[in-house]
Amino acid sequence: MTSLRTALTVAGLTLREASRRRVVLALAGLTLVLLLLSAWGFSRLAAESEFGTLTSGQARLAASQVLNLVMFGFSLIAALGTAFLAGPTVAGETESGIALSVLARPVRRHAVLLGKWLGLVAFGTGFVVLAGLAQCLVVLWTVDYWPPQPVVALALLAFQTVVLLTLSLLLSTVVSPMASGVVAVGLFGATWVAGVVGGVGQALGNEGVERVGTVSRMLLPTDGLWRGAMHAFQDSAAVAQFGPEMDGFPFLSQAPLTLAYLAWAAVWVAMVWALAALSFARKDL
C-alpha cells in the first residue's frame, strides 16, 4: 500500500510538472494549426462534392483517407511530445541530482518510476483523445462524416502513445534526455516506414517484403496499433467499392486488429516497463 500511495503521489506531481513544460505549449500550437488546416482542407473536399466533381462514394473514401492522414499527424505530434517529456523525467532528474534527493528517503525506485509512468500516460492519452475528438467534430462539421468506430480508434491511438511512452521511459534510464527522445521518435518513424513497405509487399504478393512490416509491428507495436486505428476511422464500405487497387495505400487499412495482437501489445508494454524498472534500479545516481 505504501508503494501504491507513493506511485499515485508521484503520478500527480509528474502530471502537474508535465503540464508546465514548454513542450506542452508547442503541442497545443501544433494541434491548433493542424485542426485549422484540416478544417480548410475538409471544407474544400465538401465543396468538390457539392459541385458534383466527386461521387458520394468517392467523397466518403476521400474523407477516410484525409482523416487518417490528419490523425497520423496527431499521432506524430503525440509521439514527439511524449518522447521528449519522458526523457527528462528520469534522465534529466538523475543528471540534475533531483532523483538522488527523492530516493535518499525510504522510497522504492520502482514505485517512483511507476508514478512517473502513470502521470505521463494520463497526460499523453488525454491529449490524444481530446485532439482526436476535436478532429472528428471538425470532420463532422465540414463534410458530415463520422467515423464508424471512433471510440475504438481513439483508444488504439491512446494505446500507441502508451507504447511509445514506455519505450521512451526505458531509454531515459540508459541515455540522456535528448538522446532518448530522438531514438524513440526515430524508431516510431522507422516502424511506420517498415509498415508501409510491408503493405506494398502484400499488394504485390511478395511475401519477403510483406514480412518486413510484420516483423516491425511485432518488435514495436506502434504501427500495428496505428493500422487498427485507421481501420476504425475509415468507411470500410467506401473502401470496398474501389477493390484491390487500394491495397498498399499507406493511409488505409484492410483489416481490424486481432485480439491476439492487442494481447501481444499489452505484454510488450509490461515487458518493456519491467526492463525500465530493472535498469532504473541498477542505475547509479
> Is 90 exceeded by the pLDDT of residue 144?
no
Round the average pLDDT of the chain to a whole number and report it. Answer: 79
Structure confidence at residue 103 (pLDDT): 53
Structure confidence at residue 163 (pLDDT): 93
- The more confidently predicted of residues 220 and 11 is 220
Sign of CA dihedral 207, 221, 35, 235: positive
Where residue 86 falls among pLDDT bands split at 50, 70, 90?
Answer: confident
Structure confidence at residue 234 (pLDDT): 82
Structure confidence at residue 109 (pLDDT): 73
- The more confidently predicted of residues 275 and 96 is 275
- The more confidently predicted of residues 59 and 97 is 59
Structure confidence at residue 71 (pLDDT): 86
Structure confidence at residue 255 (pLDDT): 77
Structure confidence at residue 154 (pLDDT): 93
Over residues 98-110, the pLDDT tens digits come to 554 555 555 677 7
Structure confidence at residue 284 (pLDDT): 63
Percent of the chain with pLDDT over 90: 14
Q: How far apart are CA 234 and CA 153, in angstroms?
A: 10
Scanning the structure block, which residue is given the C-alpha cell 475509415?
Answer: 234
Structure confidence at residue 219 (pLDDT): 92
Structure confidence at residue 54 (pLDDT): 57
Least confident of 39-48, 85-94, 139-148, 211-220: 85-94
Structure confidence at residue 245 (pLDDT): 52
> Is 90 exceeded by the pLDDT of residue 168?
no
Beta carbons within 10 angstroms of residue 194's beta carbon: 19
Domain edges within the chain: 2-281
Structure confidence at residue 285 (pLDDT): 57
- The more confidently predicted of residues 281 and 223 is 223
Q: How far apart are CA 98 and CA 285, in angstroms?
A: 10
With beta carbons less than 8 A apart as the criterion, state whether 172 and 180 touch.
yes
Nearest by Cα to 257 from 145, 152, 172: 152
Q: How far apart are CA 7 and CA 118, in angstroms?
A: 8
Least confident of 50-54, 118-122, 135-139, 195-199: 50-54
Nearest by Cα to 222 from 163, 154, 150: 163
- The more confidently predicted of residues 100 and 111 is 111
Overall average pLDDT of the 246-253 stretch: 64
Contacting residues for 64 by C-beta, under 8 A, at least 6 apart: 145, 233, 234, 235, 238, 239, 252
Q: How far from 74 is each of 14, 71, 97, 259, CA to CA, in Å?
A: 23, 5, 34, 25
> Is 80 exceeded by the pLDDT of residue 21?
no
